[in-house]
Copies of this chain bind each other. A is one copy, B any other.
């Protein structure tokens, strides 16, 4: 790490590389340029006052003869926790509601239609500790919990669809915990919930101690502003997961995450963007930010000494488009709101151009995959 915190890749490139070459560098690295959106002065001022990074980017699309453009603004929120992790549970939740609420207010000023928060946004990412207490107390009912009620108010107040990833307690099914995203319509009603399909067993991501693989399949939510799906965190490493949301019609797939520098930072710009390209859809990668400290020390299964933090959550939230372009990332170190404007018609336009689904040969893969999962599967290996 350099002496000054490394704020963002994009800013560093812009500072050092001369304009003509920067244009080529950015073309190769980020694809077709996104346009910076002029955001309202009141939003810019509020963001400065409330101390978070505010960025706005627009993707372009072609005009069609038979369809009107379907312009949508999505908002991605990344944030640090507000209180220390040993503050009373209810105070931690309330403080996060307040902080995220004031960012959502700015999103509303920016005309955002769909907003998504980071994974397990009402709590520290405490799954590194393997302690059950007090962390399971952060779990709430997806349908009737206080966080869902809070999001319903935001949805109604600002006419915005809210994707709210929480730790869910499923009272109906034996008090089970899940890692779940609740999708709330702009009308304020709970449209439904969708659970994290793939659960990590890597590094400090001890989530399998707390909850199991999701059982809600690959639902897509038809909102007033487009068809959306939620691929939670570790699911972004699984191309089949993205694919299945896309096949079910998702035009925008959100990827609310919590991931740290040492482990995954070089993979971060690759995976969600590859999914946008491969599936002709928009993807929104959201990562929390900051370092979270815990009262009790824990080990990480890596031979290192016991410690009390998970490492640096590097933010860098971004949106990728089906044409392979992407927005700049939000800050690596600060809370942030990324406003991205897109014409959903681009998804079909790129599909008609590249035709990955038409050329996908899914019948062949369905047959092969059915064999792969059999106990007596024999790999197709040719030897001399």
Contacts and interface: CB of A to CB of B under 8 A. Distances in A.
B220 A381 contact: yes
A230 to B, nearest CB: 12
A25 B12 contact: yes
Contacts of A213: 359, 361
Contacts of A278: 237-239, 271
Interface in A252-278: 264-267, 269-271, 273-274, 277-278
Interface in A331-384: 353-356, 358-366, 368-370, 372-373, 379-384
Contact of A353 (B202, B365, B366): B202
A248 interface: yes
Contacts of A277: 237, 267, 270-271
A187 B383 CA distance: 12
A21 B27 contact: no
A3 B20 CA distance: 9
A6 interface: yes
Interface residues of A, number: 90
Interface in A271-330: 271, 273-274, 277-278, 324-325
Contacts of A16: 16-18, 21
A82 to B, nearest CB: 27
Contact of A244 (B269, B325, B365, B384): B365
Contacts of A185: 384
A40 interface: no
Given A362-B372, A372-B247, A27 B266 contact: yes
Contact of A29 (B234, B237, B266): B266
Given A218-B380, A266-B324, A381-B248, A200 B359 contact: yes
Across the A-B interface, the 4 shortest Cβ-Cβ residue pairs: A239-B239, A31-B266, A274-B274, A366-B369
8 contacts: A2-B23, A16-B17, A31-B266, A197-B361, A221-B382, A244-B369, A270-B277, A271-B278
Given A13-B17, A198-B359, A237-B277, 11 more contacts: A6-B24, A191-B382, A201-B358, A217-B368, A220-B381, A238-B360, A247-B379, A271-B274, A362-B369, A366-B369, A366-B373
